[in-house]
């Protein structure tokens, strides 16, 4: 029984290593982070402009989006949510980015201190966020987003 567990663990490590080699094609973590950050900035610009077409391309088809109030949105719901009138930025600021690369998956965390009108309410509270990007068919796509309000201290 112990040998089976050891063998299964070893095979898992081998397969994950092969998957990483196949998906990153020799890229360093720094190169991958640069690619993802470029897509992140493109997404941020699209959010500020209400550019649904760009967001549709960047968001994964099975996007799971959890806003700071805990509401879970699908891709279609999130795209409807970013239209002008629902979501309008007074200013846009994101900082404190941290990324962790796992082959064709990147976990990005950061802080948003943007001032935003969300469904008529002015939101000033900073938000900590975590996003998951996956490389699909050669393109980085955001497949998950989760944000929490951060109490100002």
Reported as a single tens digit per residue, the pLDDT across 45-95 is 999 999 999 999 999 999 999 999 999 999 999 999 988 888 888 888 888
CB 97 within 8 A of CB 108: yes
Each residue of 4-22: pLDDT tens digit? 443 334 444 444 444 444 4
Please give the Cα distance from 47 to 52 (Å, whole number): 8
Domain coordinates of the chain in residue numbers?
27-149
pTM (predicted TM-score): 0.80
Q: Please tell us whether the domain made up of 27-149 is placed in CATH 3.40.50.720.
A: no
DSSP label at residue 119 = T
């Amino acid at each position: 029984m112990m040998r089976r567990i050891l063998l299964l663990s070893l095979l898992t490590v081998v397969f994950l290593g092969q998957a990483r080699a196949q998906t990153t094609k020799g890229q360093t973590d720094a190169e991958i982070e640069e690619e993802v950050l470029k897509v992140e900035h493109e997404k941020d610009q699209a959010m500020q402009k209400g550019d649904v077409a760009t967001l549709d391309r960047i968001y994964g088809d099975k996007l799971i989006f959890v806003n700071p109030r805990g509401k879970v949105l699908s891709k279609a719901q999130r795209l409807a949510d970013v239209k002008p009138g629902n979501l309008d930025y007074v200013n846009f600021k994101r900082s404190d980015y941290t990324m962790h690369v796992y082959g064709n998956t990147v976990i990005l965390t950061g802080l948003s201190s943007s001032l935003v009108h969300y469904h008529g309410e002015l939101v000033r509270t900073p938000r900590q966020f975590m996003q998951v990007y996956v490389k699909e068919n050669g393109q980085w796509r955001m497949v998950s987003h989760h944000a929490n309000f951060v109490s100002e201290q």
